[in-house]
Amino acid sequence: MHTTLISASELIALRQAGTPHLVFDCSFELMNPAAGEEQYRQAHIPGAVYAHLDHHLSDKLSPDASGRWQPHPDAASGGRHPLPSRERFAAWLSSVGLANTMQAVVYDRQGANYCGRLWWMLKWAGHDAVAVLDGGLPAWLGAGGDVVDGTEAGHFQSHFRLGPPLRRLATTADVAAQLGDNAQTIIDARAAPRYRGEVEPLDPVAGHIPGALNRPFNLNIDADGKFKPAAQLREEFEQLLAGRDPASVVHHCGSGVSAVPNVIAMEVAGLGPSALYAGSWSEWCRDLTLPVAKG
């Protein structure tokens, strides 16, 4: 069973062995939400299901009476990409044919920025057998893997069953209650200028959660497009944490998506599972009673 990363050669071997599995293509472009699905139609791993960030991995946003966009009442988080309820997510997994006995493999073309979201959600749904294709589609092509175009035929109804969550979802209330407490270490995955509050292209307020450390998610990826070696990741995170307990870490970003490569990297580094604040900055900064730091 693969639970963090899977190499292209390992995926090829898994497919040749006939191991039950399902591959998900999570390619996406934040500023052009239709682009990822078009990339999938142009070329994807045979049999891969397309997982759209907005449609499948997030709940819907609807305007309230004042015109502000709000998540569905049963959403599991707020923010720009609210998590759907576990039950709604399980229904989608069933509709695309993921069974509890299958190995799930997720990939994208954007440095694991988007497929990590599905990796985390499957862990949250109780499914441990999920791994990120290290290096994404470019690594698959580099290893001689074949691709097809178009869309896939319908998949069978699998009746996916939820299990106990294997990763912790932190809420705004959780983060606020432990602000400044040594029991919580916040890591912000956004680019440094956004963290410092110098620019804010997406959310109404610039800055960061007071006390948060900054580690942009792309620092986990090496020049070859794959995650850095485990020893290097461990050294970098230990330097960032400076003696803080890795188990105290809560990751966030703008909307709970690009924080996940940091979650994965800590696990690859052997530092254990850590929590995700899925509502992230986009949920935090909309509550004007919560503090904001800059610099």
**In degrees rounded to 5, what are phi and psi of residue 213?**
-90, 155
Name the residue among 221, 86, 100 with its Cα closest to residue 160.
Answer: 100
What sign does the dihedral 68-88-248-229 (CA atoms) show?
negative
Residue with tokens 């399980």: 90
CB atoms within 10 A of CB 74: 10
Contacts of 203 (CB under 8 A, 6+ apart): 80, 254, 281, 282, 285, 286
Catalytic residues: 253
Helices (H) and strands (E) in the chain, counts: 10, 12
**Nearest Cα to Cα of residue 256 among 292, 294, 221, 283:** 283
CA distance 106 to 22: 9
Spell out a b/e string for 241-258, using b for 16 or more CB atoms within 10 Å of the CB, else e.
beeeebebbbbbbbbbbb
C-alpha span between 24 and 42 (Å, rounded): 15
Structure tokens at 57: 């991995």
HEC profile of 192-248: HHHHHCCCCCCCCCCCECCCCEECCHHHHECCCCCECCHHHHHHHHHHHHCCCCHHH
